Structure 1
Amino acid sequence: MSRFSPKPRVLALAAAFLLSVTLAGCGTTHPPTEAASSKDKTLVQEAERVMQVLKHNERAISGFSRLVQRWQEAGLARPDVHPRSVGRQLLAVWSGLQGQWLVDPSFNLVNEVSEAFRRLSGQRSMEAKPRLDELISQF
């Protein structure tokens, strides 16, 4: 079960506050006009979309964080990296690469994202560590 970190909660509260202020600003003592109702519906839809994006991002960051933690436990990721930070960075890289790929699909998106994950988690350095330790022990 994913938990919202404080920042998305603050953003959600800010969006709800702005929506309520905007809706209150549209209201008068007269019945709402068709234009005001349409504007209200649009604002509600935008607030719902913001919440969907926040929830999606939180699920993605949490999932990537858990993956980094499992890799750390297995000795495949550097122990000094912060899983949540790597999760957030990977979501940013994924989103950016996906946007580039939509414009220019000439590169392999899966390979690029996989390489970014290895670099961010330090996987390659952890894979090389036993070989380096072996070399060092020979001296």
Structure 2
Amino acid sequence: MALLMCALQVAAAESLPDPTRPSIDLNYGTGGADSTADTVPVEPAPQGLQSIIIAPHYRAAIINGETVSLGGKLGDSRLVEVRESSVVLQNAHGRRVMELFPKVSIKKNETVQQMSGAPVKASGQTNPPEQAVGGVK
């Protein structure tokens, strides 16, 4: 009898909403209200050099979502060099340099090059180095 009462209570209990479920529909109109909540749009993985791994006894790069160790192969190319911001792949057609940040160029400004002495303003006054490098004290 007690087992029957427990079964009736479980059947009569209303379902509670999932507190971890987002309050917005993430299905982006791919089926409306009857679509499953488990469906999440999948973005394609970015192509190219994504990360560089440099450790004391190990060097590798993540290229097109695949981890390639120094000396390892990616398609018909071999990873022959791992630098801080680029890698070099070599195949029968030659060498190819892949940059981690291809649109970023690093330039030293004039102030950093003059750090051995206090930089001089056009008015002839000198700036302390902490003001010349961005005003951080």
Which is greater in Rg? 2
Greater RCO, 1 or 2 (C-alpha within 8 Å, sep 6+): 1
> TM-score, normalization: structure 1?
0.24
Q: TM-score, normalised by structure 2?
A: 0.24
Higher normalized helix content (fraction of residues): 1
